């Protein structure tokens, strides 16, 4: 009886220590992040779809009072994009095109973000079933994720070193396949950043006197006319999506000439009808800012602009605009990610 009592006490002691250790790990991580008035992270990000993995160089900046700057450079084509939040306004900037989408959005607080420390901490605090596993030289925290615009993503693993700093994040689908992987190679939690480090003007090219910086038109896609550009371009071949929803077919393909070059209009009919517009990307003479009532959406190869019934994005020298009232966000994302340099159509009628 005495031996049983001793064993029982040891088990209870071990369980109590384990629970306390879990709480201490989260507490130390929370203190590390919340005590940082500004930080700079450097690393890489990988986004995987069913067939390919796209790799980015990543820089993530934060300043207390809601300032964020995320710099992503596609390792394959050196395509650079910047997500910038200067307290109130949110921009997705493509410096090579002198173009930016301007959002009215709650980003980044309205979803999980694998490259923003505060969002990772929120995921941990909001998950009552969070688990922590001891690993060599650190810990692994497993939490649910909240990606309203990507229902495929279900949970994540956050890897900490012994100092309770985050080194890696893996985001999984329901089949336990890693879809997003972020590695932090450098982390400076005392970066000493200032508000001037988050200004849009840093990315605006020098303008001629009298030019208007912000083009406040209501067009939210690549179908916008750009009167400031004196360049024209052509599309050598039409690019078709490899993914189409069931019972949806290409019914019309039209190429028209505009003042700045070719424009292709593809119409798909059926259960999930939509229109897809393609035209060559053209660098603007002055910064073009396109207002969008929606969210930045991370695609495989770029960052798109998502609104209630449309998605706009630029990739591989082509500007795309997809419009539909029948497609879900997941379906829009699948269509966008399936577009490549091919003339294959999944379904025709």
pLDDT digits (tens, 9 = 90+) for 116-173: 999 999 999 999 999 999 988 899 999 999 999 999 999 999 999 999 999 999 999 9
- What the block records as the tokens of 82 is 């910047």
> What pLDDT band is residue 2 in, cutting at 50, 70 and 90?
low
Q: pLDDT at position 260, please?
A: 75
Name beta bridge partners: 44: 57, 183
Contacts of 134 (CB under 8 A, 6+ apart): none
> Is pLDDT of 89 > 70?
yes
Q: Note the pLDDT of residue 340.
A: 65
- Given pLDDT bands bounded at 50, 70 and 90, which one contains residue 20? very low
Determine the 3-state secondary structure of 322 from DSSP. Answer: strand
pLDDT at 330 over 50: yes
Set out the domains of the chain in order of their start, with CATH numbers. 29-188 (2.50.20.10), 212-224+233-338 (3.30.200.100)
Question: How far apart (Å, rounded) are the C-alpha atoms in residues 196 and 76?
Answer: 31
State mean pLDDT over 77-104.
92
pTM: 0.84
pLDDT value of position 4: 54
Confidence class for position 201, pLDDT limits 50, 70, 90: confident
- For position 285, what pLDDT does the model report? 86
Q: Is 255 helix (H, G, I), strand (E, B) or coil?
A: strand
Average pLDDT rounded to a whole number, residues 181-186: 98
Q: Is 65 a residue whose pLDDT tops 50?
A: yes
Neighbours of 291 (CB within 10 A): 18
Q: Output the 3-class SS for 188-213.
A: ECECCCCHHHHCHHHHCCCCCCCCCC
pLDDT in tens, 269-299: 999 999 999 999 888 888 899 999 999 999 9
347, burial (CB in 10 Å: exposed 0-12, middle 13-18, buried 19+): middle
pLDDT of residue 319: 93
Q: How many helices (H) and strands (E) does the chain have?
A: 3, 19
Does pLDDT of 230 surpass 50? no
Residue 258 has a pLDDT of 84
Question: Which residue has 């039409």 as its token pair?
Answer: 238
Share of the chain above pLDDT 90, in %: 68
Helix, strand, coil percentages, rounded to 5, for the chain: 20, 40, 40
Confidence bin at 251 (pLDDT 50/70/90): very high
3-state secondary structure of 310: strand
So what's the pLDDT on residue 207?
Answer: 54
Looking at every residue in the chain, the average pLDDT score rounds to 86
68-85: pLDDT as tens digits: 999 999 998 899 999 999
pLDDT of residue 1: 55
């Amino acid at each position: 009886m005495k031996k049983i009592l001793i064993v029982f006490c040891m088990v209870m002691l071990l369980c109590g220590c384990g629970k306390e250790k879990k709480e201490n790990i989260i507490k130390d991580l929370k203190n590390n992040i919340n005590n940082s008035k500004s930080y700079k992270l450097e690393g890489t990000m990988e986004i995987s779809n069913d067939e390919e993995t796209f790799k980015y160089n990543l820089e993530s900046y934060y300043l207390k009072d809601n300032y964020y700057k995320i710099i992503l450079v596609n390792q394959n084509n050196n395509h650079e994009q910047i997500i910038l939040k200067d307290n109130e306004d949110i921009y997705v900037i493509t410096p090579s095109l002198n173009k930016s989408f301007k959002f009215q959005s709650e980003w980044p607080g309205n979803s999980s973000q694998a490259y923003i420390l505060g969002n990772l901490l929120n995921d941990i605090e909001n998950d009552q079933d969070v688990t922590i596993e001891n690993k060599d030289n650190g810990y692994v925290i497993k939490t649910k994720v909240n990606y309203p615009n990507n229902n495929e993503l279900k949970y994540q693993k956050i890897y900490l070193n012994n100092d309770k700093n985050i080194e890696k994040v893996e985001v999984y689908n329901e089949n336990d396949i890693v879809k997003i992987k972020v590695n932090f190679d450098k982390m400076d939690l005392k970066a000493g950043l200032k508000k001037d480090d988050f200004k849009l003007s840093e990315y605006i090219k020098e303008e001629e006197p009298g030019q208007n910086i912000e083009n406040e038109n209501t067009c939210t896609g690549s179908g916008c006319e750009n009167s400031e550009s004196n360049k024209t371009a052509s599309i050598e071949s039409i690019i078709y999506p490899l993914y189409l929803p069931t019972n949806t077919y290409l019914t019309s393909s039209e190429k028209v000439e505009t003042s700045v070059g070719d424009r292709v209009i593809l119409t798909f009919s059926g259960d999930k009808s939509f229109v897809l517009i393609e035209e060559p990307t053209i660098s603007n003479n002055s910064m073009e800012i396109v207002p969008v009532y929606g969210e930045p959406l991370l695609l495989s190869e770029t960052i798109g602009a998502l609104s209630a019934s449309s998605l706009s994005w630029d990739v591989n020298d082509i500007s795309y605009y997809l419009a539909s009232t029948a497609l879900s966000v997941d379906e829009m994302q699948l269509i966008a990610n399936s577009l490549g340099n091919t003339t294959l159509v999944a379904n025709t009628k």
